[in-house]
Amino acid sequence: MSDQAVDYHPMWAELGLDLPMHDALLEAVGGMYGATFMTQNNRPEGTGYLDFVMGEVHGLRIKELHDFRKAGGKVVGTYCLYVPEELIRAAGAWSIGICAGAEWAYDQVEQILPRNTCALIKSMMGFKLGKVCPYLEEADLLIGETTCDGKKKAYEELGKLQNLYVMELPQMKRAKDVAFWRSELVDLIAKLEELTGNTITAESLKASIREVNDKRRALQRVNAARAAVPTPISGLDSLLAVQVAFYDDVPRFTKMMNTLADELEKRVADGIGVAPKGAKRVLITGTPMALPNWKLHQIVETAGGVVVGEEMCTGSRYFEKLVDEGGATIEDMLDDLAAKYLDINCACFTPNDGRLDDVVRMARELNADGVIDYSLQFCGTYQIESTAVQKTVRDAGLPVLSIDTDYSAEDVGQLSTRVEAFLEML
């Protein structure tokens, strides 16, 4: 999507991408990125790194993966927060969160999946069927998980096209569920060791726990700065940082986010903000916003509001909780990983009260004036949970707006009107 000096077409051809379609995708995403991000005022300098990695999203980063694999490395693609990056890295492989945030090849997707499937799942299949995602094609193994029914069944179809392994995720969080999830982690270790030919040792696992925690700590710093009034960074840039965290090189990304956090903390000390004075502050909760889904943030921030937090998998659920670093043996560390990962609050779980608590706590910590509850259409779990989210937020004395949407631009006008009215009311 940048005007790259290097021609990556030979690499993309080697990966079997549909080159004309892929060019069209990069052009579309590049145009969207320019219109969404480069038109913002007073961005922190540290966001230049995000511009750079986005400019090279299918270029330099793919080249890194390509070279890594040519040297014998393995790349593992994941679709959900419950799959521990620590285990993948401890086996010497690289973990890439596969994004699924744009409408693509829906005509082909709808020959396999019902039309009324959520946009995230359709996009996941569309990128594969349309042959436009180099991350997918670089993945030696994809890891799916039994979260919602749609994903679970779509993995059966995706598995016919690519090497895919599914982890069974419990739907409750009792002690026996944690024990079961731990046993799934043990099975995953065997799978990863078979893939890579490497053995996960206590040393490699301890190092990867530390490394991934460092990435989370850097994102915690960036996001803590958003509590300041005025907030020093836009919601769009903060969301982008988490989206990039899923696929960027871990130590490099951590370093750059700490640099960004230094700048944000200085901005806070100097009272420098990005949004106009008095801009209404919004917390968004709901389904994840995979790259390049920036739709709702753009609507809110174009309407003069500012997003100060995301209670979602591309937000706080990704970085808020750390894995305990005290474990000395693999057995201890597996306990710690199982406990941490099963503590993520996804609507696929029942009950999921932790999410309700998080929404209210975050709204208070981040000085939000209101909450937007965001669901992708046809996502039953989040749509049903929306009732409880709205009631909890109202009971806490905060206004809430509920939005159901997809990845298309068709409802942008209508959503903008609703968001503007909501911001005015705050």
Residues lying near ligand BJ8 in the complex (CB under 6 A) are found at: 80-82, 118, 120-121, 147-148, 150-151, 287-288, 313, 344, 346, 348, 376, 379, 381-382
Among 129, 127, 160, 158, residue whose Cα is nearest residue 144:
158
Q: How far is the CB of 55 from ligand BJ8 (least distance, A)?
A: 26
- The span from the CA of 49 to the CA of 393, in Å, is 35
Q: How far is the CB of 342 from ligand BJ8 (least distance, A)?
A: 11
Q: How far is the CB of 379 from ligand BJ8 (least distance, A)?
A: 3
Q: How far is the CB of 81 from ligand BJ8 (least distance, A)?
A: 4
Q: Which is nearer to ligand BJ8, 234 or 405 (CB)?
A: 405
- Quick check: 223 and 319 in contact, CB under 8 A? yes
Among 351, 349, 302, 340, residue whose Cα is nearest residue 318:
340
Q: Which is nearer to ligand BJ8, 195 or 313 (CB)?
A: 313
Q: Which is nearer to ligand BJ8, 185 or 279 (CB)?
A: 185
State the CB neighbour count (10 A cutoff) for residue 180. 16
- Quick check: 87 and 200 in contact, CB under 8 A? yes
Tokens of 193: 């060791």
Q: How far is the CB of 184 from ligand BJ8 (least distance, A)?
A: 14
The single residue listed with the structure tokens 């911001």 is 423
- Supply φ then ψ for residue 315, to 5 degrees: -170, -135
Q: Which is nearer to ligand BJ8, 26 or 312 (CB)?
A: 312
Q: How far is the CB of 395 from ligand BJ8 (least distance, A)?
A: 24
Q: How far is the CB of 151 from ligand BJ8 (least distance, A)?
A: 5
- Quick check: 388 and 278 in contact, CB under 8 A? no
Q: Which is nearer to ligand BJ8, 348 or 360 (CB)?
A: 348
Q: Which is nearer to ligand BJ8, 231 or 405 (CB)?
A: 405
- Quick check: 170 and 181 in contact, CB under 8 A? yes
Q: Which is nearer to ligand BJ8, 44 or 97 (CB)?
A: 97
- Quick check: 228 and 268 in contact, CB under 8 A? yes
State the CB neighbour count (10 A cutoff) for residue 116. 10
State the CB neighbour count (10 A cutoff) for residue 312. 23
Q: How far is the CB of 132 from ligand BJ8 (least distance, A)?
A: 20
Q: Which is nearer to ligand BJ8, 312 or 393 (CB)?
A: 312
Q: How far is the CB of 79 from ligand BJ8 (least distance, A)?
A: 7
- The span from the CA of 7 to the CA of 165, in Å, is 34
Q: Which is nearer to ligand BJ8, 12 or 374 (CB)?
A: 374
| Length of the chain in terms of residues written | 426
Helix (H) or strand (E) holding 283: strand 281-286
Q: Which is nearer to ligand BJ8, 12 or 181 (CB)?
A: 181
Q: How far is the CB of 128 from ligand BJ8 (least distance, A)?
A: 15
Enumerate the β-bridge partners of residue 97: 78
Q: How far is the CB of 169 from ligand BJ8 (least distance, A)?
A: 8
Neighbouring residues of 69: CB distance < 8 A, sequence distance ≥ 6:
75, 138, 140
Burial class from Cβ neighbours inside 10 Å (0-12, 13-18, 19+) for residue 365 reads middle
Among 236, 284, 307, 238, residue whose Cα is nearest residue 389:
284
Q: In the Cβ-directed half-sphere of 132, how many Cα atoms lie within 13 Å?
A: 25
Enumerate the β-bridge partners of residue 307: 282
Between the alpha carbon of residue 122 and those of residues 104, 125, 141, 197, 391, the distances in Å are 8, 5, 20, 33, 30
Q: Which is nearer to ligand BJ8, 153 or 221 (CB)?
A: 153
